[in-house]
């Protein structure tokens, strides 16, 4: 987007300059024509005055005289009253040899008429002298326009680039979106829409978790009580045999219903958080390890990572990335030395994330300042909302996160 805006800004500037240049060239051409015409009138008036003085002194207006007063790029013609015509050309004259088609001026004296003319090419030559300077000016303006356009395009596109990243994170299942604070109305509208979508999706996850817990309690508790009653009925001696057999059959039915209820609850827990966004465990672990290895290397620390268990299991990357980022940010702040990161896809489909640093930094009384966020508490909130749990809080001893397969 930034490159397209820059190119558009440069093209707009060049088009405007070309338009202004074309208009200016016509205006300049007319101005030069007027100036040259006025200069030509002055010259012919001067030649006429000289010729009149020459005739008054008894001289003649002949070809030699005209050649002495004609300019290099001009043509001069003297038509006497007796019908004789004398014409002389300058050495650089390249006109049509017709005063009606060239730029011309005439002056009349008692003995005849003197006409001086020159080609329109003179105007083109005058304009052409500045073409190099104009081209250099155009290039300079284009470069300046490119720099200004790049700066403006960067300012305009930056919020949209951040919005694109936020939209991608939301599509991966992350709800902690970093949205730009901008005054651009369109960007603000998109930002508000993304924030609303993230809030709605997060609320949906919370409600699904509450539903699963409530359904598990509401369904399994009565079924367990009913099963105990039926088992007690089958063990009583004062109950007829056919009643015991009916109770045994009822026990089987209760077990089937309990199994189905458990499967339904488990299915609600294992459903994909964002359809189509799942990644295999090995790919997800590789991406997170590479990203944090680069960040830790900037702090002169190393990261070793491993993916274990069932590597073919797929997970929605957003929640895993969010939780891992919070844990590793806490390890960076409170731990020291190399960092170990292990992803384990367990048989039941759960994901275990283990984070550990070599040692713990010495506390200097500033660990609990209000301006220092408690990453572990944030991680617990996120994990519990997803139906998982966090074990441990010391990066040196290791912190484990259990997440359901979502």
> Are residues 337 and 362 located together in one domain of the fold?
yes
Q: Cα 219 from chain centroid? A: 51
My answer on whether 42 and 122 are in the same domain is: yes
In a shared domain, residues 212 and 239? yes
In a domain, 388, yes or no: yes
User: Residue 315 gets which letter from DSSP?
Assistant: E
Domain boundary (126, 147, 166) is at: 126
Is residue 79 in a domain? yes
107: which 2 tokens? Answer: 């002056």
Residue 61 domain flag: yes
d(CA 371, CA 366): 10
The answer on 29 and 116 residing in a single domain is yes
The answer on 66 and 9 residing in a single domain is yes
Q: Do 296 and 263 belong to one domain?
A: no
User: What strands lie across the sheet with 74-80, from one edge to the other?
Assistant: 85-89, 74-80, 112-118, 103-109
Q: Does any domain span residue 167?
A: no
In a domain, 137, yes or no: no
On whether both 313 and 337 belong to a single domain, the answer is: yes
pLDDT, position 123? 64
Q: Examine residue 147 and state whether it is found in any structural domain, yes or no.
A: no
Q: Clarify whether residues 287 and 262 are in a common domain.
A: no
198 in Cβ contact with 170 (< 8 Å):
yes
Same domain? For 252 and 287 the reply is no
14-21 contacts at long range (C-beta below 8 A, 24 or more positions apart): 14/138, 14/142, 14/145, 17/138, 17/141, 21/134, 21/138
Residue that terminates a domain, selected from 62, 92, 126: 126
For residue 46, what are the domain limits? Answer: 2-126
Last residue of a domain, which of 244, 270, 296? 270
Answer for the pair 387, 209: CB distance below 8 angstroms, yes or no.
yes
Residues 359, 321, single domain; the answer is yes
Write down the pLDDT at residue 326. Answer: 86
The contacts of residue 310 (CB under 8 Å, 6+ apart) are 281, 345, 346, 347
Q: In this structure, are 64 and 119 located in the same domain?
A: yes
3-state secondary structure (DSSP) of residue 14: helix
CATH number of the domain where residue 80 is located: 3.30.450.250
CATH of the domain at 360: 3.30.565.10
pLDDT at 365: 44
Q: What is the mean pLDDT of each run of 10 residues along the chain (406 residues)?
A: 73 77 72 78 86 83 83 83 83 78 82 82 64 74 80 81 81 76 84 83 72 70 80 80 82 79 65 65 88 86 88 83 86 85 86 85 50 74 81 85 80
For the record, the structure tokens of 66 come out as 């005209």
Q: What are phi and psi of 380, to 5 degrees?
A: -60, -45
| Domain assignment of residue 266, yes or no | yes
Backbone angles phi, psi at 389, to 5 degrees: -155, 160
pLDDT of residue 267: 64
Domain count, the chain: 3
Looking at the fold, whether 208 and 105 belong to one and the same domain comes out as: no
Domain contains 150: no
């Amino acid at each position: 987007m930034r490159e397209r805006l820059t190119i558009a800004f440069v093209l707009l500037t060049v088009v405007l300059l070309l338009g202004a240049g074309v208009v200016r060239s016509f205006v300049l051409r007319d101005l030069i024509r007027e100036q040259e015409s006025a200069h030509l009138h002055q010259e012919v008036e001067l030649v006429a005055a000289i010729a009149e003085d020459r005739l008054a002194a008894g001289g003649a207006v002949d070809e030699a005289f005209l050649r002495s007063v004609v300019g290099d790029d001009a043509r001069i013609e003297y038509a006497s009253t007796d019908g004789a015509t004398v014409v002389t050309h300058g050495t650089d004259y390249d006109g049509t040899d017709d005063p009606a088609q060239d730029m011309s001026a005439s002056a009349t004296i008692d003995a005849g008429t003197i006409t001086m003319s020159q080609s329109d090419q003179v105007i083109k030559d005058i304009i052409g002298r500045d073409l190099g300077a104009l081209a250099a000016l155009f290039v300079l303006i284009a470069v300046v326009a490119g720099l200004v356009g790049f700066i403006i395009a960067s300012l305009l596109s930056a919020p949209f680039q951040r919005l694109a990243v936020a939209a991608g994170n939301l599509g991966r299942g992350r709800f902690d979106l970093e949205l730009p604070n901008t005054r651009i109305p369109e960007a603000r509208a998109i930002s508000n829409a993304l924030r609303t979508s993230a809030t709605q999706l997060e609320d949906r996850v919370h409600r699904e978790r509450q539903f699963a817990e409530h359904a598990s309690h509401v369904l399994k508790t009565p079924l367990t009580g009913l099963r105990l009653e039926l088992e007690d009925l089958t063990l009583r001696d004062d109950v007829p045999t056919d009643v015991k057999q009916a109770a045994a059959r009822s026990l089987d039915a209760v077990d089937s219903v309990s199994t189905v209820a458990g499967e339904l609850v488990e299915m609600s827990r294992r459903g994909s958080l964002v359809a189509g966004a799942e990644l295999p465990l090995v790919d997800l672990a590789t991406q997170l390890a590479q990203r944090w290895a680069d960040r830790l290397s900037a702090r002169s620390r190393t990261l070793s990572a491993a993916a274990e268990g069932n590597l073919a299991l797929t997970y929605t990357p957003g929640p895993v990335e969010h939780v891992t980022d919070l844990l590793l940010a806490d390890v960076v702040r409170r731990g020291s030395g190399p960092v170990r990161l292990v992803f384990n896809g367990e048989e039941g489909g759960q994901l275990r994330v283990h984070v550990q640093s070599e040692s713990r930094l010495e506390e200097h009384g500033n660990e609990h300042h209000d301006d220092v966020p408690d990453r572990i508490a944030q991680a617990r909130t996120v994990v519990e909302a997803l139906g998982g749990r966090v074990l441990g809080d010391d990066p040196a001893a290791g912190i484990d996160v259990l997440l359901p397969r979502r």
